[in-house]
Structure 1
Amino acid sequence: MINPAPPDDLAGFSVPGSGRGILEVFRYRYLLRLLVRKGTQTRYHGSALGWGWSYVKPAAQFVIFYVVMGLFLGLHHGIENFPIYLFSGIIVVNLFSEAFSNATKSIINNKALVKKIYLPRELFPVADVFIAFVHFLPQLAILLVVLLVVGWVPTLVQISGVVLAILIILTFALGLGLFFGALNVSFRDAQNLVEIILLFATWTAPVLYPFTVVRDALPTWLFELYMLNPLTVAVELFHSAFWFPTTAENMERPAHLWLLAGIAAIVVAAVMVVGQFVFRKLEGRFAQDL
């Protein structure tokens, strides 16, 4: 009779399908690069304009908002250089919307891989967030070209604000994407809920209007809560870096913006922790539910 192997001989093994969460993604950097490359190369595959759509779509969105909100409704009054104000906010919301939406659908879209082999499931939402960032770069390039034409000279503080805003948005979108992406595997209603959330995204940040409109219309406590929204903070960091330097000095900016940015960073870190926790709890059912 053969005696079973002692428990110590199993120390080098791990339970199939388990991992260390999002930290394990860094061990699969090559595969992550492949997923990002595949996502960016196939996005406009077969289209006549190809990557030109990355410029056409935000430009069309800007024209619609500028004509309807700026000219027809007169919201451009009191906002100097309204086109720069508008576009610098639009691209932030576009980055959040694409990253959040793609991360939510990432497990469903890669169900063939999820069901057949073990990979850190977090690879898919992380890759989709990176893909959204790559598609964001052409929009940022358009804004930078316009700013340089009007004489914008960047400073270290402004660049730091832009980098911080991008990190806040990407982390926020990834945390929410992990949460809703895990729920979306078992309950496809989650995807519909995300679409509703994104419908409000443009309106819950000072993109089409100045923050002073909200301050004057809401009670102080509700306005302060509005200003703690990470999307609001990211938009205002972009405004502070790109729009405010092109205006007169008497234009009002949010008070304690860097303090708000620090609080927003803590909020998105908490969202990331919650999203990772829920994702880890539910990922054992992914293959079964798919």
Structure 2
Amino acid sequence: MSERPAPDLTGFTVPGTGRGILDVFSYRYLLRLLVRKGILTRYHGTALGWAWSYVKPAAQFLIYFLVMGVILRFNRGIEMFPIYLFSGVVVINLFNEAFGNATRSIVNNRALVKKIYLPRELFPIADVFIAFVHFLPQLSILLIVCLIVGWAPTAVQLAGVLLALLIVLIAALGLGLLFGAMNVSFRDAQNLVELILMFSTWTSPVLYSSEMVRAIAPPWVYDLYMLNPLTSAVELFHSAFWFPTTDQTAARPENLWLFAGLGFAAALIMLVVGQLVFRKFEGRFAQDL
């Protein structure tokens, strides 16, 4: 009795044996579809629609300004405090939305994950893109306000904005891959993510200045504080949007670009670790979902 020939599997890919994030470039059309779907359905069925992209950050800014600026009087110690506050808020909002959505991306797309094979990294990457699109209305408000008060940034400061965005998006994607994979098997990972998102605002110089930390903390604690990728990203936004609107006597952190470079390196490490963990768990996604 002759043996049956082995099936030809050259057209198939076993989950976890691909090139990870690099495979996403071969699925650019599907990535565009996922991003487009996420953008169009974000406020589907709501009365205000895309106006919520302006209302939500405006309400958040108002609360922070009233509490930190008016009640606690931080606006007296920081010149142009509204711009200082909002330029930090938009950075944290981008990180929180990108990280939070990427963490839930695999579970939210369980129907596709269980039925067909495609690079699972498509889902968290698409959610990071969607978060960036929703960040643009907030950035436009910041730009308009800065232009009204005479904003005149340098080329180096504008380059800092691009570096800050890279730091935030890469860090959010890396952590999203890490916790998104864990969230499939251990749903309480989502609770840990919510704690991280809660602390992200308070562990970065958004509601206060980094000089306040430097004044009360030992030098090594301050250095650890500045090594936080979100801290350097927020300070780069302050340098680009807030500092040019002041009288140029405002203090900027020393070695900001050094800390920004280290923050970028830390974000890349997060991405590598997140990808490795994601690939380790990827083969169990369909089973655990």
Partner of 2:194, secondary structure, is: helix
Q: Report the equivalent of 1:263.
A: 262
- Mark the CA change 1:154 to 1:251 in structure 2 (over 3 Å): closer, same or farther: closer
Q: Report the equivalent of 1:114.
A: 113
Counterparts of 1:68-147 in structure 2, within 5 Å, are: 68-147=67-146
- Same amino acid, percent of matched pairs: 68
| Amino acid in structure 2 at the alignment position of 1:242 | F
| Amino acid in structure 2 at the alignment position of 1:276 | Q
Q: Report the equivalent of 2:14.
A: 16
Q: CA deviation at 1:78?
A: 1.7
- Structure 2 Cα separation of the partners of residues 230 and 79 of structure 1: 23
| Amino acid in structure 2 at the alignment position of 1:224 | D
- Structure 2 Cα separation of the partners of residues 252 and 154 of structure 1: 16
Partner of 2:280, secondary structure, is: helix
Q: CA deviation at 1:249?
A: 2.0
Partner of 1:188, secondary structure, is: coil
Partner of 1:80, secondary structure, is: coil
Q: CA deviation at 1:154?
A: 3.2
Q: Report the equivalent of 1:36.
A: 35
TM-score by length of 2: 0.96
Q: Report the equivalent of 1:190.
A: 189
Unaligned runs of 5+ in 1: none
- Structure 2 Cα separation of the partners of residues 249 and 42 of structure 1: 44
Residues 152 and 245, structure 2, Cα contact 8 Å, conserved in 1: no
- Structure 1 Cα separation of the partners of residues 196 and 104 of structure 2: 15
| Amino acid in structure 2 at the alignment position of 1:288 | Q
Aligned length: 288
Partner of 1:252, secondary structure, is: coil
- Structure 2 Cα separation of the partners of residues 149 and 251 of structure 1: 20
Partner of 1:76, secondary structure, is: helix
Q: Report the equivalent of 1:252.
A: 251
TM-score by length of 1: 0.96
Q: CA deviation at 1:243?
A: 0.2
Q: Report the equivalent of 2:47.
A: 48
Partner of 1:208, secondary structure, is: coil
- Structure 2 Cα separation of the partners of residues 153 and 20 of structure 1: 44
For residues 153-172 of structure 1, what are the alpha-carbon distances to aligned partners after superposition, in whole Å with 9 as ceiling and x for unaligned?
23321211001100100000
- Structure 2 Cα separation of the partners of residues 3 and 108 of structure 1: 42
- Structure 1 Cα separation of the partners of residues 125 and 78 of structure 2: 37
- Structure 1 Cα separation of the partners of residues 262 and 170 of structure 2: 14
| Amino acid in structure 2 at the alignment position of 1:89 | G
Q: Note the aligned Cα RMSD (angstroms).
A: 1.4
| Amino acid in structure 2 at the alignment position of 1:181 | G
- Structure 1 Cα separation of the partners of residues 173 and 203 of structure 2: 19
The answer to which of 166-175 and 150-159 deviates more is: 150-159
- Mark the CA change 1:216 to 1:72 in structure 2 (over 3 Å): closer, same or farther: same
